Structure 1
Amino acid sequence: MTITLDAPKAAKAKPEAVPGLPRPQKDAHVIKSDREAIEVATELAKTFLEGSSERDRTRRWPVQELDAFSQSGLWSINVPKKFGGPEVSYVTLGKVIEIISAADPSIGQIPQNHLGVLAAIRTVSDEAQQRLLFGLALRGFRFGNAFSEFGSKRAVDFETKFTDAGDHVIVNGRKFYSSGALLAHLVPIVALDDQGRAWYAIAERDAPGLTVIDDWSAFGQRTTLSGTVLLDNVRVPKTHLVPGYKGYERPTADGAIFQIIQVAVDNGIAKAAIDDTIEFVRTKSRAWVDSGVEHAWQDPYTIQAVGDLKLRLHAAQALLEKAGQAVDEAVVGATAESVARAQIAVAEAKVLSTEIAIAATNKLFELAGTRSTLAEHNLDRHWRNARTHTLHDPVRWKYAILGNYFLNGVNPPLHAWS
């Protein structure tokens, strides 16, 4: 069975439901080590880089790319060894996402919620549910997401609810920012029970009443396909009902894990922009008339600026690694103190990754010159991607979390945005 998903549905006057993809025809590879995870990500990134600009330009959906990505085993790298998974460190997981995002940040962002849900399953599910759902991930099933809601007052406010119907629940609601849902095999839905507690109701992608619409119109991260999910009496078996709220009733690393993946995406965007800046300056840019040099790459101001960008990127990468170590410690031994340390380390990394992503994608044009703005180069995609993705979890609140922790000894709040 072949499904062609090349035409952007958002261009049509009336958005249409998008059919789901077939389930994996064969089991995915299982990564054996942290080293292998990095090696596999590096090889995949070379392939993803080749078409990344054109996918952005034409908004071609990364169907084949996602199949290769999930079949590679990288979508199950945080499945515990107890259940047959690699259980790589979060240092490695962050590096994997950064590598992929430097090639194509839309592809790098899509597994964020999949990996976050796997982490939550480890924290809150019983062993039978873990064995079932981890088993699906190891086979190559992709979990999308239907978490956020467009019209709610705050990100933590949900109107989507489910009702108990015996061996299953019935879910009703409307979701937006549903990155990955369109090309997923399963869709975790954040829905409230009759006590107002948030669960992950993991529905089949083609479950009756579950409609995914490609109406994502943001100017950046264009092929994350983060559009609308409609839920009309969707049946979800209780075997697939995960008590996500338990991950925030006590200190756990769940929130920090969602956040650290955001950091890795932004670092990847920054690295790609700096790499393209260097390539353009060395091959296409002209020396400024007053510089007294023959080549643009000899300009002392350009040399200084590139050095500054590289320094700040390396600082952001170092903080990402430090944050991964703190998350690993909190996963192994979750206490109020270890979880707060992980949240703080991730918040620090998030600040720097945001700042270097914006700085690098903006500085590209200043250093490369006017011809770098030509549509044929499509270099503006770096800025558009950075400006769009860094809007996740505003850094002005990260500064507040950091200051309150260091000055007043106040631990960060426990939720998926902290």
Structure 2
Amino acid sequence: MAVATSHNTVPRAVPERPATRLRDAAEALDAAAALAEDFARDALSRDQERRLPWAEIERFSASGLWAITVPRSFGGAGVGFGTVAEVIARISAADPSLGQLPQNHLGVVNNLLLTGSPDQQRHYLGLVLQGYRFGNAFSEARSKTVTQFETRIRFTGDTAWIDGEKAYCTGALFAHVVPTVALDEAGLAHLALVPRDAGGLTVIDDWDGFGQRTTASGRVQLKGVSVRRSAVLPAWKAFERPTADGPVSQIIQAAVDVGIARGAFAAALAAARLARPWTDSGLAHGWQDPLSQALIGDLSWRLAAAEALLEDAGVAVDRALAEPSAASVAEASVVVGQAKVASTEIALAAANRLCELGGTRSVSARFGHDRHWRNARTHTLHDPVRWKYHLIGNYLLNGVEPPRHAWN
């Protein structure tokens, strides 16, 4: 397989070492806290050098955190999505590029549970427990809208053939399996679980976004790629009936932004404590400035509100997963939408206020404070938050349930 990349390291087709089996939410949160402390050490240099986190991603998936949503009946921890969101937020506070990488992997695990056959579930969830990583070949840059696809899949006997090109393929470069969305002749969406070393699959590391720099969110080309029919999920079934597939995807996005906000707020506190007092204040220290104190107070309650909404969203998603119905899925989409709005606003606000509180010296490249805003601005563009306001208001005012797709 040819890989066009500025880095010579190519992941193995199998994990480097077996993943730890985490047993419950407490173990997951402890593992996330330990990894976050580790990842934070070199987060700035990885961002400034655009150095892809090959070693970090191996530690991340080997920790067992990528398998925490595998149900207990399959040998996993089966944690709720409040725990998942907190895990992602903790990692993202240290390095939001790393925090974003499991998002599509976790979405695929959920789709397996929703649309996979018992044999597919046993096989692929078993791989996840071993430390296999799913990547992402979902979105396309040339289609009319984000929910439309030009990539095609055709079936001949027990073989599926896929042709197309994907964009924004976060994590595909690091993956062992690259799940690919493609349409059949009837226009139905399927999810082909393509091995990373499949013939005709090319992962191109050309992501040049000014934020989330090390997510490897480049392109994937598929030319005559073939997989067994047993490696294809009928993904369309996740949206022909009420399921929480969309809210699952979205709550993880909100969690990344809460993590970005936490990182930016912590940096803002540190910068404000070191800032000089303004000459007209008559104060001896910058931390005595009541106007700075007010800005910190404003950011703090907004962050707390976003964290509370994220927790509420986890409860709503778990309820929709346990008792799927039009009502429970709509509620989950709305509450997750509220968390998405709040997390977007505080991530951008905290990153923007950081340098204002720190003063001119805080823009020195050695601090790297700009990465917080660049990451917030980039990641919050994943889908337009202005449509979340509409989704929430239309539901509350008119009782209109949100459209069911991966972005709601």
TM (normalized to structure 2)?
0.97
Shift of 1:19: 4.0
Aligned to 1:222: 213
Q: Is structure 2 residue 141 aligned with structure 1 residue 144? A: no
Q: Is structure 2 residue 199 aligned with structure 1 residue 208? A: yes
Q: Is structure 2 residue 370 aligned with structure 1 residue 373? A: no
Q: Distance in 1 between matches of 2:231 and 2:194?
A: 7
Q: Which runs of 4+ in 1 moved over 6 A?
A: none
Going from structure 1 to structure 2, the CA distance change for 1:299 and 1:340 (only over 3 Å counts) comes to same
* Deviation digits for residues 265-313 of structure 1 (CA, Å, limit 9, x no counterpart): 0000011001011112223x21111111111111100011101101000
Q: Distance in 1 between matches of 2:55 and 2:397?
A: 49
Q: Is structure 2 residue 321 aligned with structure 1 residue 331? A: yes
Aligned to 2:284: 294
Q: Distance in 2 between matches of 1:103 and 1:20?
A: 23
In the alignment of these two chains, the number of paired residues is 406
Q: Is structure 2 residue 82 aligned with structure 1 residue 91? A: yes
- 1:8 and 1:59 in contact (8 A); partners too: no
Q: Distance in 2 between matches of 1:38 and 1:398?
A: 29
Going from structure 1 to structure 2, the CA distance change for 1:358 and 1:304 (only over 3 Å counts) comes to same
- 2:13 and 2:197 in contact (8 A); partners too: no
Q: Secondary structure at the match of 2:283?
A: coil
Shift of 1:26: 3.0
Q: Secondary structure at the match of 2:208?
A: coil
Aligned to 2:98: 107
Shift of 1:229: 0.4
Residue from 23, 34, 37 that aligns with 1:46: 37
Paired letter, 1:30: R
Aligned to 1:309: 299
Q: Distance in 2 between matches of 1:22 and 1:54?
A: 28
- 2:180 and 2:194 in contact (8 A); partners too: yes
Q: Secondary structure at the match of 1:129?
A: helix
Q: Is structure 2 residue 378 aligned with structure 1 residue 388? A: yes
Shift of 1:20: 3.8
Shift of 1:165: 2.3
Residue from 147, 152, 157 that aligns with 1:161: 152
- 1:120 and 1:244 in contact (8 A); partners too: yes
Aligned to 2:6: 9
Shift of 1:376: 1.3
Q: Distance in 2 between matches of 1:48 and 1:34?
A: 21
Going from structure 1 to structure 2, the CA distance change for 1:298 and 1:8 (only over 3 Å counts) comes to farther
Name which of structure 1's ranges 21-30 and 256-265 shifts more when overlaid on structure 2.
21-30
Aligned to 1:30: 21
- 1:259 and 1:416 in contact (8 A); partners too: yes
- 1:19 and 1:206 in contact (8 A); partners too: no
Q: Secondary structure at the match of 2:173?
A: coil
Q: Secondary structure at the match of 1:223?
A: coil
Q: Distance in 1 between matches of 2:55 and 2:192?
A: 27
Paired letter, 1:252: T
**% identity of equivalent residues:** 53
Name which of structure 1's ranges 21-30 and 42-51 shifts more when overlaid on structure 2.
21-30
Where structure 2 has 5 or more consecutive residues not aligned to the other structure, the ranges are none
Q: Distance in 2 between matches of 1:70 and 1:354?
A: 27
TM (normalized to structure 1)?
0.95
Shift of 1:64: 0.6
Q: Distance in 2 between matches of 1:297 and 1:158?
A: 53
RMSD: 1.4
- 1:41 and 1:74 in contact (8 A); partners too: yes
Aligned to 2:340: 350
- 1:110 and 1:224 in contact (8 A); partners too: yes
Matched ranges for 1:126-275 at <5 A: 126-275=117-266
- 1:18 and 1:211 in contact (8 A); partners too: no
Aligned to 2:55: 64
Where structure 1 has 5 or more consecutive residues not aligned to the other structure, the ranges are 11-16
Aligned to 1:75: 66
Residue from 354, 358, 383 that aligns with 1:364: 354
- 1:8 and 1:60 in contact (8 A); partners too: no
Q: Distance in 2 between matches of 1:26 and 1:216?
A: 28
